[in-house]
Copies of this chain bind each other. A is one copy, B any other.
Amino acid sequence: MNTFGHIFRVSTFGESHGAAVGGVIDGMPAGVDIDMAFLQAELDRRRPGQSQLTTPRKEPDRVEILSGVFEGKSTGCPIGFIVRNKNPHSSDYENLRHLFRPSHADYTYHVKYGHRDHRGGGRSSARETICRVVGGAFAKMILRRLGVEVTAWTKQVGNIVLEGDYHTFDFSQIEQNPVRCPDAEVAQQMADLIMEVKGQGDTVGGVIECVVRDCPPGWGDPAYGKLHACLGAAMLGINAVKGFEYGLGFAGASWRGSEQNDVFLPGFTTATNHSGGIQGGISNGQDIVFRVAFKPVATLLREQNTIDVDGHATVVKARGRHDACVLPRAVPIVEAMAAITLVDAYLQNRSARI
């Protein structure tokens, strides 16, 4: 199932070392101004090689919009797009053709499909997330019209955690450092850790936090379409994600109801926001706040024990170009998937009342 969304729907294709990645954005309402510079800028935030911290694979990641836009505005027809893969080094992966990298998708694809593209992880590669960023950029153009803002940042890398209430953060700092952390000092510690880990041929995980500001109340559905369930599915679909929580999340499991409840105040606002902006699966007009846990990248530039396709013990050492930590590049992906989810909820909510 390579489609995400119900009314605003992004269907994608593409492997790491194929000719291109791309997709179809269906359900884009007509009449939206299409900001091509913004679209490319979003892709540049995700692009490899943007700093020392990321994989050195050199990809310009230029997007070509093939349909659905006419004279600068969306037409309501589906938007086709492709991004060519320019710099695959497929031979780097020849040694992985018959092996399974530990904790990677090599084995499960092999079992499921019988026939797989082993080069660069094939479909399981994070290059697929280019398409999410393209979809997210179109979604953000809609949210911009509605005054809704989605902002994510790196909250944790390994053991280094940015503590504190996000209201005290300076969001303008996020794009000022390669880690995408709103605190310059903590960002430097994170960067140092990533470089250290990278030097060891190892990798490290972390946590991204995201806030949606000025989301109107009423978005999201009861039962199986709860807004946070959709956001959770969106985030858990991103490569390397291992957990999702919103509002107080796991920490709130040990709170009492009397502590956690957000008392309503005149003006239809709340005294606190432990709910993370969602109650009963529907946005309540407060900031939507959630966190996403990423495991360390599975591919290591050091030797690991493993098996081959025949089940025999062997040793694997990756030769390709890999990130030691995906967090910095995952920030725009988290935002993109949040934006797609929100636009879908917005359009669905148009049918809530007659």
Chain B residues whose C-beta falls within 8 Å of the C-beta of A108 in the assembled complex: 217-218, 220, 278-284
In angstroms, how far is the closest chain B Cβ from the Cβ of A15? Answer: 5
Contacts of A27 in B (CB 8 A): 351
Among B80, B254, B294, B307, the residue within 8 A (CB) of A20 is B80
Interface string of A114-138 (1 = CB under 8 A from B): 1111000011100010000000000
Given contacts A70-B116, A77-B113, A108-B282, 8 further A-B contacts (CB under 8 A): A21-B80, A77-B123, A109-B222, A112-B349, A156-B254, A204-B254, A233-B236, A243-B244
Distance between Cα atoms of A23 and B245 in the complex (Å): 29
B266 and A313 contact, CB distance less than 8 A: yes
Q: Are A22 and B222 in contact (CB under 8 A)?
A: no
Q: How far is the CB of A106 from chain B (nearest CB, A)?
A: 8
Given contacts A66-B14, A233-B230, whether A284 and B252 have CB atoms under 8 Å apart is no
Asked whether any CB of chain B lies closer than 8 Å to the CB of A152, the reply is no
Q: Report the nearest B residue to A258, measured CB to CB.
A: B202
B222 with A229: CB separation less than 8 A? no
Q: Determine the distance from Cα of A112 to Cα of B36 in the docked complex, in whole angstroms.
A: 25
Tally of chain A residues near chain B (CB < 8 A): 151
A64 at interface, CB cutoff 8 A? yes
Which residue of B71, B115, B203 is within 8 Å of A75 (Cβ)? Answer: B115
The residues of B that contact A159 with a CB separation of less than 8 Å are: 254
Residues of B within 8 A of A304 (CB): 258, 261, 263
Contact B105 A281 (CB under 8 A): yes
| Pairwise interchain contact B353-A29, C-beta atoms closer than 8 A | yes
Q: Is A6 positioned at the interface, with any CB of B under 8 Å from its CB?
A: yes
In the bound complex, do residue A13 and residue B75 qualify as a contact, i.e. CB atoms below 8 Å apart? no
Docked Cα-Cα span, A199 to B54, in Å, equals 55
Among A37-45, A170-178, A267-275, the stretch that binds chain B is A267-275
Chain B residues lying within 8 Å of A202, measured Cβ to Cβ, are 256-258
* Stretch of A55-63, A96-104, A180-188 that contacts chain B: A96-104
